[in-house]
Amino acid sequence: MRPLTPRRVLGICALLFAVLFAAVVISLRMGAYPIAVSDIVTTLINGTLGRRDQIPSEFWLVIFGLRLPRIALGILVGASLATSGAGFQALLRNPLAEPYVLGVSSGAALGAILSLIFAPHAPGAIQIAAFIGAGATITVVYFLGRRGGQLDSPTLLLGGIVAASFLSAAIIFLMTTLSGRDLRGMAFWLMGDLASAPLIDLRWLYLAMLIAAGAIYSASSDLNLILTGEKEARHLGVNVDRVKLVVYISASVLTGLAVSVSGAIGYVGLLVPHVMRMLFGTDYRVLIPTSAIGGAILIVLADTLARTIVAPTELPVGAMTALAGAPVFIYLMRRRVR
């Protein structure tokens, strides 16, 4: 018997943070203007200590002006999507649940596009609209997935797939008919990329992400029991209705804020929690933080590949995650996860 301890959770997280740091350094190094690792580290240290005068201007521009903001965006998006995927998997008791597969990302994307059409200059409107889109979609999919008063796993997934294709069609319709307006590209909303800088200060989004992910984390021991069955969880004293509400809202906020700045990047919420389960076990008290950091690692690396693999052309990062995610989805569908 080796129960999970806070110390072990912190140790694992520290390890993953080190991997994330390595991924960030790799990402900072790679690109049209290569920079040596030693220069990156010196620049980062000087930048953090506020010694800007000691940094060559081209390093400052490439690292702090171009690559680091994009990495920061990637970390936010990856952490949000992976945490939200882990949350949806427990709530819907379905190992294949994740925002993209369930159509929640497409719902958020549609909400974001509508806000760009109707309130293009309102600060934060796109995030709120994306959250509403995500929340409305998961509500609809949840009810589509119920049969005889119970959530039915295949029906839920089919409901999600239908919702995703319907919402994608609506996005394509809007983008085609309103092609003259500044709504970003169709590929951005359907596949997702990190090339365009968000219209809002990233710090606000990080704050929202930390609050929503923290809310899910605070329910992690309840989610462990909900995974073994809702009825059992109730008998063991879990306030199931409250936990579900908190996690639904938080997972929708996370999906909404990720999609509002990066479009609908798929499979992160599926890939990362499953890899973390295989590495560190199914306990949500370790799964939520490791998924968040793991999601960040995945997106940082995937985006680095996306912008360098066929340089100077950039691939959308969603294409990279889908290339990796789709086979994993099929593998998981055919085999019960341990």
Partner 1 sequence: MNASASGGDSAAPVVVAAPASSKSPALRLKVEQASYAYAATDRSAPKFTLGPVSFEAREREVVAVLGPNASGKSTLLRLLAGMAKPLSGRVEVNGEEVSSLDARTRAQRIALVQQESELLFALRVWEYVLQGRYPHGKRLRFESDEDCLLAGNALAQVGADTLRDRWMDELSGGEKQRVILARALAQQPSLLLLDEPTQHLDIGGKLELLRRLRCLADENRYTVLVVTHELNLAAEFSDRIVLLHKGKCLRAGPPAEVYERELLAEVFEAPLEVEMRANGRPRVVLTGTRE
Provide the binding-site residues for partner 1, judged by CB under 8 A: 1, 3-6, 89, 93-95, 218, 220-221, 224-225, 227-229, 231-232, 234-239, 277, 282-283, 285, 336-338
CA distance 126 to 240: 31
* Residue 89 bridge partners (DSSP): none
With beta carbons less than 8 A apart as the criterion, state whether 152 and 162 touch: no
Q: Whose Cβ is closer to partner 1: residue 54's or residue 239's?
A: 239
Q: Whose Cβ is closer to partner 1: residue 51's or residue 235's?
A: 235
| Least distance (Å) between residue 240 CB and partner 1 | 9
SS3 state at 298: helix
| Least distance (Å) between residue 94 CB and partner 1 | 8
84 Cβ contact list (under 8 Å, min separation 6)? 98, 99, 104, 250, 251, 252, 254, 255, 258, 269
Q: Whose Cβ is closer to partner 1: residue 42's or residue 282's?
A: 282
Q: Whose Cβ is closer to partner 1: residue 229's or residue 327's?
A: 229
2 Cβ contact list (under 8 Å, min separation 6)? none
CA distance 98 to 269: 5
| Least distance (Å) between residue 288 CB and partner 1 | 11
3-state helix, strand, coil in the chain (%, to 5): 75, 0, 25
| Least distance (Å) between residue 297 CB and partner 1 | 22
Q: Whose Cβ is closer to partner 1: residue 4's or residue 66's?
A: 4
146 DSSP assignment: E
CA distance 168 to 105: 10
Quote the distance between the C-alpha of residue 157 and its chain's center: 19
Q: Whose Cβ is closer to partner 1: residue 94's or residue 321's?
A: 94
Helix (H) or strand (E) holding 150: strand 150-151
Q: Whose Cβ is closer to partner 1: residue 210's or residue 309's?
A: 210
| Least distance (Å) between residue 227 CB and partner 1 | 5
Cβ-in-10-Å burial (0-12, 13-18, 19+) of 334 comes to exposed
| Least distance (Å) between residue 237 CB and partner 1 | 3
| Least distance (Å) between residue 293 CB and partner 1 | 18
